[in-house]
A and B are shown apart, each in its own frame.
Chain A
Amino acid sequence: MTGMALEGLNVLEFGEFISAPFCGKLLADLGADVIKVERPKVGDESRRYGPFPDDLPHVDRSGLFIYNNSNKRSITLDPATATGQDIFHALIADADILIENQQPGVMKSLGLTYDKLSKVNPGLVMTSISVFGQTGPYSKYKGYDLTAWNASGVAHRYLGEPDRAPLRAAWYHADHWGAICAAVATNIAVLARDLLGEGQHVDLSQSDVLACHVMGYQLVSVYNMNGDWSVRTGESRMTSFPTGIHECKDGHMALMLLEQAQWRGFVKAMGSPEWATNPMFDIPMWDLREYSEEIRLMAEPWFEERTKAELFEVLQANKVPSGPVHSAEDVMNSEHLEERGFFTEFDQPGIGRVKIPGRPFVMSKTPWSMRRPAPTLGQHNVEILGGRYGFSGVDLTDLRRTGII
């Protein structure tokens, strides 16, 4: 048996930047047929973000767009026009899934609500990704990655110095949470379709998923039980130094110690200096927090005198959960990832040979693959609008002239 896990699924993607496109990418990379509906002339705004090879902006050479939109086809369309609306409905009739991340009110003003679209196609699974969701007191609020992140409570509770503004995690992390959660919820709804015989509306709120999974988890129960709560504490985590990120000779190391045995391993890794072998430190890691400052003062120089590679080796040899803080360069140059076959190499039109991060996980029977690179703007207008829906070359020219596509 060969083939791809999500082949046979027709997906319409009507969204921009990261949360909808990365969701579409997850589906497309596993074989779904994803058609991106982009704004005429300008397309997905990530086409403007870059980075661009040699810093020369070009609508078809934006790194962010190329990465997030692999394996998709692109048509341009303005569904705010009457003809555009008809074409959109025709696309919906042939789709299993619609993914959108429009700001509140936009889909309604375009007449593209689940109520209306499910009449066009009762089997449609419509996934709406937004910052606050489709219902609730904040559902009309405009939002972006930053506001979703802060609304969830995760920022204030878990990231940043206590005397500075709460900080964002990673890179547009709230948008990626939205994308991955939407992909899961969409797949569940598609599975449910077999049981129900019809589709449904998936309401994915970025602030919901972050709040539930990172603030829920434990904090909601603790707060409910005894009113206890806390705020970000800068460097220290739930356990003592050396948990945290530390400067070393050529960069930074990240460590996380949860178990007592790991502290003992850390002591050995440092060469068992006398101060560290004091039995007063051989206690559960969350109790060891009391001595975090003393430990930091004594152990910080040990980190500063060594390179990432040296520290990585000796810490791992002593079973201390640890790793260097890798830059993009470090990740792309990782021997381990290279041998694992993590990267994918392909030809990007207008650029040439490109090698980028590939499959997020390995499926033994239905492997991930780069079947086609990210599309140029409107690359498949002829193939889809012409080939599938019968618009002639003259029609397409008229549609373009009048701003429909």
Chain B
Amino acid sequence: MGHILADMGAEVFKVETRNRPDVIRILPPYMDEDLARETGEQPLESLYAANTCRNYRGITLDISTSEGQRLAKELVKSCDVVIENFSPKIMTRFGMGYEELRKLRPDVVMISASAAGKDGPQSGLVTYGGVVSALAGLDYHQGYPELGRPQAANTTIMDPLQGIYCAFAVLAAIRHRARTGEGQHIDFAQWEAAATLVGGPMMEWVFNKRNSDPLGNRDEMMAPHGVYPSKGSDKWVSIAVKEEDEWRALCDAMDRPGLVDDERFADQYLRQINHDELDEIISAWTKTKTHFQVTRMLQKVGVAAFPSLNEPEVFDDKHFNAREDWIEVEHPLGKQKIYGMQWKLSKTPGQIRTPGTMVGQYNDFAFREVLGMPNGEIERLGEKNVFY
């Protein structure tokens, strides 16, 4: 959420404390592993942080202390937006709930993101993104139909999307404030946000009291539609056929014009019914070509096909590099390649102004410059570990 606003020019303070580092800071691998080994401390400059903390101003403040809270509140006075994702009630306990912050800055926009919301019978839910997507009804639809069970992903795919969804909420609130001068509090429950993303299956229950089965790589309408094995080890190509002329073009490309008249596949309805047989025929063909060969042949005749790219193929790909999805930045701990601007705005494209902030890197900026604290006070508080 934060870096999306920062990428577009917002000044974003990331408030951290070494006493309870953000989990993304401690997921390996790290850029400061060697340094940390020498001092025996926990490395905090993970590659995750190098990517997601770009354009941020990292400052350290222990806001569980009264001094930390006082300084945080001072900073809020010059901030338009406050972002927090603690368990509900923590900010209030710290004296920094919305009602408190509003007194300091009446038009502040505050967003509180949590798993299940600030109230309700299960508001204290202990989760991560991967569990939230199961609660919200998404994982139910994720699985190979032939295996008959939901398939877990190897990462929390929804997590970044939650952050983006939060950014949407914040931007809407900022617009309202720009027009009316009024701030507000956004209560963002990941469970609820995710549950808005399964419209079809929800309506199947609403209308017909049925739970739709997972589609796997198939489609409710398009046929053929799937991910097929191609030449080489663990190489696959996705193909989606929508219109009848695309079906004919596919048959021609496979050198099987006779298939068009095959009564098993004569229209979309029949192709859906006989999808398994059709898949076998298509696989037999795709196995003889590389995934890019299949893609070029089919795209040439207007059929949507594209490889299932593996990691090296994605990062070395000429298209993604041409679109500057991967860019090199100069980080204090060394050159790094990170992801760039995820959407391309023609006039205000945004940029990586500064690399992933290190922990507490901008303390001087925040406390000396922005708050104008005298050296004596900074030293005194430093000794009390307020800036740890």
Interchain CA distance A136-B132 in the complex, whole Å = 35
Q: Bound state CA distance, A340 and B376, in angstroms?
A: 49
Whether B125 and A3, one on each chain, are in contact in the complex, defined by CB atoms closer than 8 angstroms, is no
B122-A184 in contact (CB<8A): no
Listed stretches A83-91, A317-325, A377-385, A386-394; interface member: A317-325
Looking at chain A's contact residues, the main secondary structure is mixed
Whether A63 contacts B204 by the Cβ 8 Å rule is yes
Is residue B178 contacting chain A, with contact meaning CB distance below 8 A?
yes
Nearest-neighbor residue (CB-CB) of B210 within chain A = A51
A355 touching B206, Cβ below 8 Å: yes
The reply to whether A156 and B304 form a contact with Cβ atoms under 8 Å apart is: no
Cα distance A217–B125 when bound, in Å?
Answer: 26
Report the bound CA distance from A4 to B28 in whole Å: 43
Interface residues of B in 148-171 (CB under 8 A from A): 149-158, 160-161, 164-169, 171
- B363: min CB distance to chain A, Å: 25
Q: How far is the CB of A86 from chain B (nearest CB, A)?
A: 26
Tell me if B172 and A30 are in contact (CB < 8 A). Answer: yes
How far, in Å, is A189 (CB) from chain B's closest CB?
6
> How far apart are A281's CB and chain B's nearest CB, in angstroms?
20
Contact of A169 (CB < 8 Å), options: B153, B192, B205, B227: B153
Nearest B residue to A147 by beta-carbon distance?
B306
B270-278, B332-340, B365-373 - the one binding chain A: B332-340
Q: Which residues of B contact A149 (CB under 8 A)?
A: 238
Does B319 interact with chain A (Cβ within 8 Å)?
Answer: yes
Which residues of the partner chain A approach B52 to less than 8 Å between Cβ atoms? 217
Among the listed A158, A196, A221, A327, which residue makes an inter-chain contact with B51, where contact means beta carbons less than 8 Å apart? Answer: A221
Q: Decide yes or no: A245 and B199 within 8 Å by CB, A51-B204, A363-B172 being known contacts.
A: no
Which A residues are CB-close (under 8 A) to B178?
Answer: 191, 194
In the complex, which residues 344-397 of chain A have their Cβ closer than 8 Å to any Cβ of chain B? Answer: 354-357, 359-366
Q: Which of B169, B226, B344 has the most chain A CB atoms inside 10 A of its CB?
A: B344
B240 A326 Cβ-Cβ under 8 A: no
Q: Which residues from 161 to 217 on chain A have a C-beta closer than 8 Å to any C-beta of chain B?
A: 161-162, 164-173, 176-177, 180-185, 187-192, 194-196, 198, 200-205, 207-209, 211-217
B266 at the interface (CB under 8 A from A): no
The residues of B that contact A216 with a CB separation of less than 8 Å are 51, 325-326, 338-339
Which chain B residues border A225 with CB–CB below 8 Å?
29, 47, 336
Given A114-B346, A166-B236, A340-B117, answer yes or no on A1-B180 (Cβ-Cβ < 8 Å).
Answer: yes
Decide: A223 and B175 in contact? CB cutoff 8 A. Answer: no
Tell me the bound Cα distance from A339 to B116 in angstroms: 12
Nearest Cβ distance between residue A231 and chain B, in whole angstroms?
6
Contact yes or no, B137 A327, CB < 8 A: yes
Chain A residues with CB below 8 A from B155, complex form: 158, 214, 237-238
Interface, chain B (partner A; CB < 8 A): 4, 8, 23, 27-29, 46-48, 50-52, 98, 116-117, 119-123, 125-144, 149-158, 160-161, 164-169, 171-176, 178-180, 182-189, 191-193, 195-212, 215-217, 219-222, 225-229, 234, 236, 238, 240, 242, 295, 299, 302-315, 318-320, 322-323, 325-326, 336-340, 342-348
